[in-house]
Structure 1
């Protein structure tokens, strides 16, 4: 079982690099405002849409950033490849997991997600302030891990039965079944996908690390299987990816473009119940 999440009781502030990823899908400015008001001392801010997505691209609603843009983000954030990195959001949100997945993709294997979120750390006595840090620029060279990334071509091959991967849809059951689609123009799911609503991963507003989630996951897909997770835009699939890794699933990928990218091509096939 991989260590993905860390509890506040196990974190030493001074020995870690900190990344604040708080965000709201309803108000794109909310996270940055929270950060400006107060954040863990030394934390840099990564914005879902400005830093963790390439919003000018057409590959879904939160497209995969270019490697050059990510490399620049890592360097201006003062990161080195072996740094002990803690990423946080409000707790039980998908934004820290998105940033963590990108760090894993880039080879920052000593990066982790703070389980309790900002308010939990603040209440526990972690130092906070409103000073915007200016970390010294590095020349870090990411070590890209393509085995955890699923581009559209890989998903097309999976649908065609040319890979061994199982597609796992992190959206709500009603969106998975095509009964209700509040965001994307076409209802349904990627053909052959199984369902696991990412909201099931939480307990009392934080991610549930006890055996209940592990058992639920095992009922859908086995740890020895290859799994490719997706959602609507690639954001809420990141917590599902993180919990799979936490529970011992070694062969997991994230389709960052997700359903919004899948249906963007003319004639894309979907399933509905």
Structure 2
């Protein structure tokens, strides 16, 4: 696969389509306000809850939209399958990675994440304005890659030992251990899961691409293993997925429903330390 992340200094503005994914889990309107104040010229805005999730579903706290809704999102965003696309958030956030994973799932192989975020983009001299983008509607057809999507059934099979894969929990260690659960009604983890806190992926507030993360990931899983990543709602697992792919892990899936979906079933088993 190609690059997952790109440094702002290496971006060719003229050959790029842009997606702004800034968001705040504490203030769900913050990203839209930031976009309206200033964004990369021509960028479209994808909201975590309005565009990249279907909040009417019950499969976790940020369920994935249906394929039809995603296809409509891609088309109204003016995207074609071969486009070179740069996605940004504020840097070190999970939202650009969520969009990137959705694009990977749909077959957009030329999408990358701007690792430093919007602040660095403004400093790099890339054109910025406050004019809402109105892209030309496309008729693109996604090329869905089911190999990177983990269904609940697949996770159940992994827990039962019927697959060769491992589960990797991207939440903080105290939530993984079941010591503290500030969001979900049941503390703990999916049985058998290992832990790699997604915050460990960062240095100085942005994702660390210098190689130290690669060695840390290799202590948890082998690059040849099948890895299914999850978190609380499928959002912060996306950067863990992206960093695994960036560091040479070939077979990685994302359980979008994640722990919040797992515990939604009455008979769901969980582990605690």
For the aligned pair, the TM-score class normalised by the smaller chain equals over 0.9
Q: Which secondary structure does the structure 1 equivalent of 2:229 belong to? A: strand
Question: What number of residue pairs does the alignment pair up?
Answer: 273
Name the residue aligned to 1:93: 93
5+ residue gaps, structure 1, are: none
Name the residue aligned to 1:49: 49
- Say whether the 8 Å CA contact 1:171–1:232 is kept in structure 2: yes
Q: Which secondary structure does the structure 2 equivalent of 1:210 belong to? A: coil
Name the residue aligned to 2:67: 67
Name the residue aligned to 1:178: 178
Cα distance, 1:133 vs structure 2: 1.2
2:271, 2:210 → 1: CA distance? Answer: 33
Superposed CA offset, 1:204-225 (max 9, x none):
1110001110000000001000
1:241, 1:159 → 2: CA distance? Answer: 19
Cα distance, 1:202 vs structure 2: 0.3
Residue 150 (1) aligns with residue 150 (2): yes
Name the residue aligned to 1:220: 220
1:134-149 map, 5 Å: 134-149=134-149
Name the residue aligned to 1:266: 266
1:109-128 map, 5 Å: 109-128=109-128
- Say whether the 8 Å CA contact 2:88–2:118 is kept in structure 1: yes
1:211, 1:75 → 2: CA distance? Answer: 36
Q: Which secondary structure does the structure 2 equivalent of 1:179 belong to? A: coil
5+ residue gaps, structure 2, are: none
Structure 1 length-normalised TM: 0.99
RMSD: 0.6
Structure 2 length-normalised TM: 0.99
Residue 161 (1) aligns with residue 149 (2): no
Superposed CA offset, 1:24-81 (max 9, x none):
0000000000000000000000000000001000000000110000000000000000
Name the residue aligned to 1:244: 244
Name the residue aligned to 1:104: 104
Name the residue aligned to 1:189: 189
Residue 230 (1) aligns with residue 218 (2): no
Superposed CA offset, 1:212-271 (max 9, x none):
100000000010000000000000000000000000000000000000000000010000
- Say whether the 8 Å CA contact 2:100–2:112 is kept in structure 1: yes
- Say whether the 8 Å CA contact 1:2–1:247 is kept in structure 2: no
Runs of 4+ in structure 1 off by over 3 angstroms are: none
2:150, 2:91 → 1: CA distance? Answer: 26
Cα distance, 1:145 vs structure 2: 0.1
